[in-house]
Amino acid sequence: MKASYHDFLIENPKCGKDLETSTGAKAVFDLLSRDWSIIAMIEASDSGKPALSPVVLIIENYCTKNPSDSFDLANEQRRTVVGCMIKTILSRFGYEPIRPSTRTQKELSRTIGAKYFVSGSCYSHVPLAPASMRIVRTVSIEPAVFSLVRELQCPYCKSTNAVDLENEYHLFSETRTEEARHLKINFYKDCVACNEQFIVSGYIIECPLGDIEREEITSTPAKG
């Protein structure tokens, strides 16, 4: 499982006991612990960049908008704390600071525009390091896109009406699973020719998603 703020405090006692009650520090840790932040830091590490690179502006912007005496990035020690947080978070994924230590720190690109941070630690994946989590990348097929426009005959004047079922999505009753979707359709439509109102009803079954397995759409008089 992910590292918790308590894990960070236990693993980094030199960061100071005052962090135990620092809401600013806890908020920064939570930002760094988000899935997006972790994935971005790991991708930066795999590219040979400091793990801090993709998240530094997020941290700086947060601290600027939420100033805290207990966690001021103008304080060098607090910037070091951020580095320790990243170390704890990435350790759960088997990432450790690059060795030797003389190669660990690397300057951040000036194009990032960081105000407080100048450099950050670089990490690499260590296969034998104890890890409790991993990033899983998958490739999936996007469902095919098909038209939901149907030509229906007005039950009164027999004129053909192009009915866009998709625009009536709020009238769908939808049942969905991982492999299929069942749309129940029932709404009123005004004929474009005679202006009489008729009922559009029926169903569409997608199975697998993106392929229409079966459908039945009818138009019937709205009057009894």
Lowest mean pLDDT among 5-14, 15-24, 79-88, 143-152: 143-152
Highest mean pLDDT among 97-111, 124-138, 180-194, 202-216: 97-111
Q: How confident is the model at residue 170 (pLDDT cuts 50, 70, 90)?
A: very low
Quote the pLDDT of residue 93: 95
At 89, is the secondary structure helix, strand, or coil? helix
Quote the pLDDT of residue 10: 96
Predicted confidence (pLDDT) at residue 168 exceeds the cutoff of 70: no
Only one residue has tokens 């169903």, namely 203
pTM: 0.62
Quote the pLDDT of residue 165: 80
Predicted confidence (pLDDT) at residue 56 exceeds the cutoff of 90: yes
Q: How far apart are CA 71 and CA 27, in angstroms?
A: 10
∠ at Cα 173 (168, 175), nearest 5°?
A: 130
Quote the pLDDT of residue 69: 81
Q: How confident is the model at residue 139 (pLDDT cuts 50, 70, 90)?
A: low
Write the CB contacts of 147 (distance below 8 Å, at least 6 apart in sequence): none
Alpha helix locations (H) across 75-127? 76-91
pLDDT in tens, 15-39: 989 999 999 999 999 999 999 899 9
Work out the mean pLDDT of the chain and round it to a whole number: 88
Q: How far apart are CA 74 and CA 19, in angstroms?
A: 16
